Chain A
Amino acid sequence: MCGIVGCIGRGDGTVDVLMDGLRSLEYRGYDSAGIALGPSMGVLRKSGELDALTEVVDANRPSGTYGIGHTRWSTHGPPTDSNAHPHTDENGRVAVVHNGIIENYTELKAELQETGITFTSDTDTEVVPHLIAQALKAGEDPETAFHNTVDRLEGSYAIAAIIDGSETIYAARQGSPLVVGVGDGCTYLASDVPAFVEHTRDVVFLEDGHRVVATTDGYTVLDEHREPVAVDVETVSYTAEATGKSGYDHYMLKEIHEQPTALRQCFSGRSDALAGTVTLEEIDSIPQPDAVQFVACGTSYHAALYGAAVLREMGIPADAYLASEYALSPPPLSLGTLVVGITQSGETADTLAALRDANSRGVSTLALTNTVNSTAARECDHAVYIRAGPEIGVAATKTFSSQLVGCNLLAEELVDGPRDLRALIESLRNLPDDVQSILDASTAETVAEEYGNSDAYFFIGRGTNVAVALEGALKCKEISYEHAEGFPAGELKHGPLALVTPETPVFAVVTGDDERAQKTLGNIKEVQARGAPVIAVTDGQSEAAEIADETLLIPETDDRAAPILANVQLQLFSYHLADALGRPIDKPRNLAKSVTVE
């Protein structure tokens, strides 16, 4: 995990560039942070959020003309000062920042310790500066020492290093994201483009195995055999300011309110309402798959559950798998299967591993992602973009809504045969205003006030609303830290009902008035009989609103679109619950936006 930055060629502005870059990468982790500067080889690092480092930097006023920086999300060792990056060798001649996991670090560490080297941190990263220092001691030049060290590493990593006496930044990518920003007389390195987009929009997206040697004269990209490779410089379109909070208290609330725009962008130009057809140009040529396996994590997994349910309704065998399970316990698949990875960032390590596993077994892969040129988009055979715009809040909101629309577009494009999609298209076109009407009139804040002191929160639904129930509970856990669980409504009585008391409100997602809705009404009565207050999230078609204690109303729509609307009410509930509890909503403890370790 973590975010790394580097820059050379900016002279006295180096410290500001590094600190601003880290600020925009905080979404990748915020347990601790640090910077290392050349030529002084000075290192400043601090546990806690970036503000803690900012204080240290302001107090020490370090200087340097090139440097590297890091913001950490702990994997090996707790978030302490000594575990904060950059890590150095014993003499402070080498400083290294790293994102990812070095899988063979225990044997490397043991080997280094045998030669008498003392480790000062619990991290896997610390082996890297010691290895480089050892190579330097053996008489190797800095660049050779860096390459020889990287050759020995196993696992996934993006690494940047500076070495005393060499006005150069060395970097390597293997399995974790790393991009180069090409400036005027200067070069930037970062885990993600926002870190330097205010300085340059010309970007080189590195591939696994690539290494970078950047000096004041420019940069060279090398392959793992240390041969120079030609790379494309792409110009990215988004601006640094597009990621500001626009006056909202939190990114999460801003992104909840951006959903009408995000949904409009996702659907725009992809349907013909007159002909009743949907077209995803990116995958126009894909034949109908025999089966579809979705792989995803977290919120994206809930979108995958929804997508699989939609495809099954259309007669295509489809399942959703947790990506972290898929790669290590792969289900059987036939050659006609399409494996779809859903990942907002396109960098989620577990999802990438699952997609790579599928790829190695010879089936087609498709990335449904928000991030153009992300690793998932580049590695898969096909990519479909959800066009939600940048999402900074750690708790995913607008990207989930757009993923659900993306699943509908995907399903309609993949499945052959003439169908009249006018009703579906109408409901998807209406989504922006339907969501806006919820944002204009939601009473979720009042519900959050009324039930804010409960023991736990449960969320139930059936069919595609199971995904909404699970997502509602996840959102609640992530940002409020309150105990929350989501269940398929029919499962309650098979165990979880034992948890239900008058102090555990139950959110029942009931849309339409079919058998699923009717059976969910039965489940509502079941929990009411145990004294639990019930909040119905409903379009008013069934009797849910009459039975429930509270109602969060959504507009009536097609049953494919209803889960998207119901989810917006639950986003607002979790947001207001967390806000009333004073939680750091955009930076929930222990979490990071895109998880790039397995």
Chain B
Amino acid sequence: MSASSSSTANRPTSAVVLAAGEGIRLRPLTANRPKPMLPAGTRPILEHVLNALIDAGVDDIHLVVGYQANRVRSHFGSTYRSVPITYHTQDNQLGSGHALLQAREGPSDRFLLVNGDQIIDHRIVEAVSTAHTDTATLAVVEGPEAVDYGAVHLDGDTITELIEQPAGGEFRLFNAGVYAFTQEIFEVLETLSVERGELPLTDAIQLLIDEEEHAVGGVRTDHFWMDATHPWDLLSLSRELLARGWVDAQPTDTDIYVDESAHVHPDATLVGPVVLDSDVVIEAGAVVGPYAAIGASTTIGSGSVLSDVVIDTDTAIGPNTTATELVVGQGSEIGAALTVSGGPADVILDEEVYSNVDLGGVIADRVDVGGSATLEPGALIGPKATIGAGVVVRGRISGGSEVVR
């Protein structure tokens, strides 16, 4: 009893969350909001991140906001689950180290640092905060993603090297982006300058590793950790969350979650796992699920058949739509009988080609789609675009444009 209470007493209970970045590779979904506010299930990614922190005992949250900051502020306000939130603004997105520096006046003692756009099990946070002794401690995860996130060398519980761009397959351990720091990290960051438009946090950690007097701790963990880098990742993210029941609603059946204010026609069918948020309307004859996340105040028209979809808030899907592997943003109006038949697809994002992606299509915010349109696999429709009746959409349609047959 005394041993465990003394160890918890020393654990950091403040956390800094980096939520200032747009997430360029998630365009066109990030036109109006930063990546942490994109849907994971029916809730913003950031809400899951804050849940993990609070479940791990954090009682003081500092959000670093930047790109479309008002979206974050107005969603969370001054408290989340009774935990006070303080906002710090990063006016220019100059990297994670620079972002953390914006919160210099935030936590007064040891603190945790997490990314606002990566979903983590609260036990990862607990592991890092329990292990934290010296200046810096970070969570280490094993997996093939090291190529994307930067590999680490771990000697016992000490990090001996950070490798930013490892050759494929060479390293198996990578940095999960969950840290615990003492105030010294700020002093280290202040000795560094922004170079090539960036001040990465890893530069500061590398400096600590190189110094004799500090040890950078590493904690191996195999708990759930997931990131969305590309638009199609939102589908797998939702699949994972639905499978785990990480949805903010009471199940009406084992894996069917329906908010009490939602209206489901008696002749509609829900196939679990599926989640319907507040005031969702499912019209007669619709079949929704498996793996469907339907956001607040969205309507699914009669006779529509949807599986493996993430439909965000305030959207209307017209009757007799058939869609799979589809992501739709906020406030879009989809006419009757849209067809989205799913991947695999070759998708070009940011001048890079991704082959064999499981993506039916992406429709961003406030898109207007006429009746009987079709999305070819991997189609991306930008915000406020207008798609005429009967149009077959291929590739990328830029925001605000009008496409007619």
Contact = CB atoms under 8 A, between A and B. Distances in A.
A273 B69 contact: no
Interface string B73-85: 1111111001011
Nearest to A439: B70
A241 B85 CA distance: 9
B92 interface: no
Nearest to B76: A246
B297 A246 contact: no
Contacts of B75: 261
Given A429-B297, A432-B297, A269 B73 contact: no
Interface string A223-267: 000000000000000010111111110000010011011001001
Interface residues of B, number: 36
Contacts of A264: 278-279, 296-297
Contact of B69 (A247, A269, A433): A247
Contacts of B313: 432-433
B130 interface: no
A439 B71 CA distance: 10
B5 to A, nearest CB: 24
B118 interface: no
Contacts of A258: 74, 77
Contact of A257 (B73, B279, B366): B73
A288 B391 CA distance: 49
A272 interface: yes
A430 interface: yes
B330 A246 contact: no
Interface in A424-473: 426, 429-430, 432-434, 436-437, 439-440
Nearest to B85: A246
B366 A433 contact: yes
B190 interface: no
Contact of B78 (A241, A430, A434, A436): A241
A268 interface: yes
A297 B88 CA distance: 38
Contacts of A59: none
Contacts of A257: 70, 73-74
A269 B77 CA distance: 23
Main secondary structure of the interface of A (DSSP, over half): helix
A247 B73 contact: yes
A436 B296 CA distance: 14
A440 B68 CA distance: 9
Nearest to B296: A264
Contact of B74 (A243, A261, A269, A437): A261
Given A247-B89, A268-B261, A269-B260, A429 B279 contact: yes
Contact of B331 (A242, A245, A437, A439): A437
A268 B278 contact: yes
B147 to A, nearest CB: 35
A243 B84 CA distance: 11
A498 interface: no
Contacts of A241: 78-79, 82, 84
A248 B73 contact: yes
A467 to B, nearest CB: 25
Nearest to A265: B278
A245 B279 contact: no
B308 interface: no
Nearest to B280: A273
